[in-house]
Amino acid sequence: MSLSTEQPEGRSAGTKACGFNDYLEVLREQPLFNGVPLDVIKVLAYLSTVETFAPGDPLCEQGEAMDRCWYVLCGEVDVVRATGDCQAPMLRRGQAYFFGGLGLLAATKAVYTVRAATPVECLTLTKEKFLKTAERFPAILPKILNNVVEHIFRWEEAFLSAHAEECASRGGEMGLSLF
Protein backbone atom coordinates (compact mmCIF):
# COMPACT_ATOMS: atom_id res chain seq x y z
CA MET A 1 0.00 0.00 0.00
CA SER A 2 1.15 3.49 -0.76
CA LEU A 3 -0.14 6.93 0.12
CA SER A 4 1.26 8.47 -3.03
CA THR A 5 -0.57 10.40 -5.70
CA GLU A 6 1.26 8.55 -8.46
CA GLN A 7 -0.87 6.69 -10.98
CA PRO A 8 -1.08 2.94 -10.39
CA GLU A 9 0.26 0.73 -13.16
CA GLY A 10 -3.23 -0.14 -14.42
CA ARG A 11 -4.22 3.49 -15.01
CA SER A 12 -3.93 4.82 -18.54
CA ALA A 13 -1.65 7.76 -19.19
CA GLY A 14 -4.63 9.80 -20.44
CA THR A 15 -6.49 9.54 -17.13
CA LYS A 16 -6.21 12.74 -15.13
CA ALA A 17 -5.21 12.66 -11.49
CA CYS A 18 -7.99 13.34 -9.00
CA GLY A 19 -8.00 16.40 -6.81
CA PHE A 20 -10.09 18.09 -4.15
CA ASN A 21 -13.07 18.81 -6.43
CA ASP A 22 -13.15 15.16 -7.53
CA TYR A 23 -13.01 13.98 -3.90
CA LEU A 24 -15.80 16.39 -3.02
CA GLU A 25 -17.97 15.04 -5.83
CA VAL A 26 -17.28 11.42 -4.81
CA LEU A 27 -18.35 12.08 -1.21
CA ARG A 28 -21.42 14.08 -2.25
CA GLU A 29 -22.60 11.09 -4.31
CA GLN A 30 -22.36 8.61 -1.42
CA PRO A 31 -25.73 7.72 0.16
CA LEU A 32 -24.04 7.71 3.58
CA PHE A 33 -23.61 11.48 3.33
CA ASN A 34 -27.09 12.39 1.95
CA GLY A 35 -28.35 15.54 3.65
CA VAL A 36 -24.96 16.43 5.12
CA PRO A 37 -24.25 20.14 4.49
CA LEU A 38 -21.81 20.93 1.71
CA ASP A 39 -19.39 22.73 4.03
CA VAL A 40 -19.02 19.54 6.10
CA ILE A 41 -18.52 17.40 3.00
CA LYS A 42 -15.83 19.86 1.90
CA VAL A 43 -14.02 19.26 5.20
CA LEU A 44 -14.31 15.49 4.74
CA ALA A 45 -13.02 15.75 1.16
CA TYR A 46 -10.06 17.82 2.35
CA LEU A 47 -9.27 15.20 5.01
CA SER A 48 -9.54 12.28 2.57
CA THR A 49 -6.45 10.73 1.03
CA VAL A 50 -5.66 8.54 -1.94
CA GLU A 51 -4.09 5.14 -1.34
CA THR A 52 -2.74 2.78 -3.97
CA PHE A 53 -2.63 -1.00 -3.74
CA ALA A 54 -0.81 -3.58 -5.83
CA PRO A 55 -2.59 -6.78 -6.90
CA GLY A 56 -2.93 -9.06 -3.88
CA ASP A 57 -2.60 -6.26 -1.31
CA PRO A 58 -5.37 -6.23 1.30
CA LEU A 59 -7.37 -3.04 1.71
CA CYS A 60 -8.89 -4.54 4.86
CA GLU A 61 -8.64 -7.96 6.50
CA GLN A 62 -11.49 -9.99 7.94
CA GLY A 63 -11.47 -9.70 11.73
CA GLU A 64 -9.43 -6.50 11.86
CA ALA A 65 -10.79 -3.15 13.02
CA MET A 66 -12.57 -1.10 10.36
CA ASP A 67 -10.70 2.17 10.68
CA ARG A 68 -11.65 3.87 7.41
CA CYS A 69 -13.98 3.81 4.43
CA TRP A 70 -12.83 3.27 0.84
CA TYR A 71 -14.04 4.41 -2.57
CA VAL A 72 -12.45 2.64 -5.54
CA LEU A 73 -11.28 5.30 -7.99
CA CYS A 74 -9.78 2.79 -10.41
CA GLY A 75 -8.97 -0.90 -10.50
CA GLU A 76 -10.83 -3.92 -9.13
CA VAL A 77 -11.09 -5.51 -5.69
CA ASP A 78 -12.11 -9.01 -4.59
CA VAL A 79 -14.30 -9.46 -1.53
CA VAL A 80 -13.52 -12.74 0.25
CA ARG A 81 -15.02 -14.40 3.33
CA ALA A 82 -12.94 -16.89 5.31
CA THR A 83 -14.78 -19.75 6.97
CA GLY A 84 -12.48 -22.13 8.77
CA ASP A 85 -9.72 -23.03 6.32
CA CYS A 86 -11.77 -22.02 3.28
CA GLN A 87 -11.50 -18.67 1.48
CA ALA A 88 -14.84 -18.12 -0.27
CA PRO A 89 -14.77 -15.46 -2.99
CA MET A 90 -17.95 -13.40 -2.66
CA LEU A 91 -17.70 -10.80 -5.41
CA ARG A 92 -15.46 -8.58 -7.49
CA ARG A 93 -16.09 -4.85 -7.72
CA GLY A 94 -14.45 -2.00 -9.57
CA GLN A 95 -14.58 1.73 -10.03
CA ALA A 96 -17.11 3.57 -7.82
CA TYR A 97 -17.35 0.75 -5.25
CA PHE A 98 -17.74 2.27 -1.77
CA PHE A 99 -17.37 0.24 1.41
CA GLY A 100 -16.48 0.57 5.07
CA GLY A 101 -18.87 3.41 5.88
CA LEU A 102 -20.27 1.65 8.95
CA GLY A 103 -16.75 1.47 10.36
CA LEU A 104 -16.77 5.26 10.64
CA LEU A 105 -19.66 5.11 13.10
CA ALA A 106 -18.78 2.33 15.52
CA ALA A 107 -15.97 0.13 16.75
CA THR A 108 -16.43 -2.86 14.48
CA LYS A 109 -14.37 -5.50 12.76
CA ALA A 110 -14.35 -6.34 9.08
CA VAL A 111 -16.59 -9.26 8.17
CA TYR A 112 -14.74 -9.73 4.87
CA THR A 113 -11.27 -9.36 3.44
CA VAL A 114 -11.11 -6.93 0.54
CA ARG A 115 -8.02 -7.41 -1.63
CA ALA A 116 -6.78 -5.64 -4.76
CA ALA A 117 -7.35 -7.84 -7.81
CA THR A 118 -5.61 -5.34 -10.11
CA PRO A 119 -3.68 -2.17 -9.34
CA VAL A 120 -6.16 -0.15 -7.28
CA GLU A 121 -6.42 3.49 -6.30
CA CYS A 122 -8.87 4.39 -3.52
CA LEU A 123 -10.09 7.54 -1.89
CA THR A 124 -10.07 6.86 1.85
CA LEU A 125 -11.38 8.63 4.91
CA THR A 126 -10.18 7.49 8.32
CA LYS A 127 -12.47 7.01 11.27
CA GLU A 128 -10.30 9.35 13.34
CA LYS A 129 -10.72 12.22 10.85
CA PHE A 130 -14.42 11.53 10.44
CA LEU A 131 -15.03 11.54 14.21
CA LYS A 132 -13.10 14.79 14.68
CA THR A 133 -15.28 16.33 11.98
CA ALA A 134 -18.43 14.94 13.66
CA GLU A 135 -17.33 16.51 16.96
CA ARG A 136 -17.07 19.86 15.20
CA PHE A 137 -20.39 19.40 13.34
CA PRO A 138 -22.54 17.16 15.59
CA ALA A 139 -25.73 17.81 13.60
CA ILE A 140 -24.46 15.48 10.84
CA LEU A 141 -24.71 12.33 12.97
CA PRO A 142 -28.54 12.06 13.01
CA LYS A 143 -28.57 12.55 9.23
CA ILE A 144 -25.94 9.86 8.69
CA LEU A 145 -27.65 7.47 11.10
CA ASN A 146 -30.92 7.97 9.22
CA ASN A 147 -29.12 7.21 5.94
CA VAL A 148 -27.72 3.98 7.41
CA VAL A 149 -31.12 2.86 8.70
CA GLU A 150 -32.77 3.62 5.36
CA HIS A 151 -30.06 1.64 3.57
CA ILE A 152 -30.52 -1.35 5.91
CA PHE A 153 -34.28 -1.41 5.27
CA ARG A 154 -33.84 -1.14 1.47
CA TRP A 155 -31.19 -3.85 1.47
CA GLU A 156 -33.22 -6.16 3.68
CA GLU A 157 -36.37 -5.72 1.60
CA ALA A 158 -34.44 -6.63 -1.58
CA PHE A 159 -32.74 -9.58 0.16
CA LEU A 160 -35.99 -10.96 1.58
CA SER A 161 -37.71 -10.59 -1.79
CA ALA A 162 -34.90 -12.44 -3.56
CA HIS A 163 -34.61 -15.19 -0.92
CA ALA A 164 -38.20 -15.61 0.34
CA GLU A 165 -38.18 -19.45 0.38
CA GLU A 166 -34.82 -19.68 2.17
CA CYS A 167 -35.92 -17.11 4.76
CA ALA A 168 -39.19 -18.96 5.40
CA SER A 169 -37.32 -22.27 5.81
CA ARG A 170 -35.12 -20.72 8.51
CA GLY A 171 -38.10 -20.33 10.79
CA GLY A 172 -38.01 -16.54 10.98
CA GLU A 173 -34.34 -16.16 11.89
CA MET A 174 -33.96 -13.46 9.27
CA GLY A 175 -34.58 -9.80 9.88
CA LEU A 176 -31.96 -7.23 10.75
CA SER A 177 -34.61 -4.51 10.68
CA LEU A 178 -36.35 -6.35 13.55
CA PHE A 179 -33.43 -5.38 15.81
- Note the pLDDT tens digit of each residue in 88-140: 899 999 999 999 999 999 999 999 999 999 999 999 999 999 999 999 999 99
Kindly give the interhelix angle for 127-136 and 140-162, rounded to the nearest 10 degrees: 130
What's domain 20-138's superfamily in CATH?
Jelly Rolls (2.60.120.10)
Confidence of residue 173 (pLDDT cuts 50, 70, 90): low
Residue closest to 38 by CA, chosen among 23, 59, 24: 24
Cα separations in angstroms, 25 against 18, 42, 161, 173, 176:
11, 9, 33, 39, 31
- Which 3 state secondary structure label does DSSP give 93? strand
Q: What is the pTM of this model?
A: 0.83
User: How many Cβ atoms are within 10 Å of 56's Cβ, its own excluded?
Assistant: 9
Confidence of residue 169 (pLDDT cuts 50, 70, 90): confident
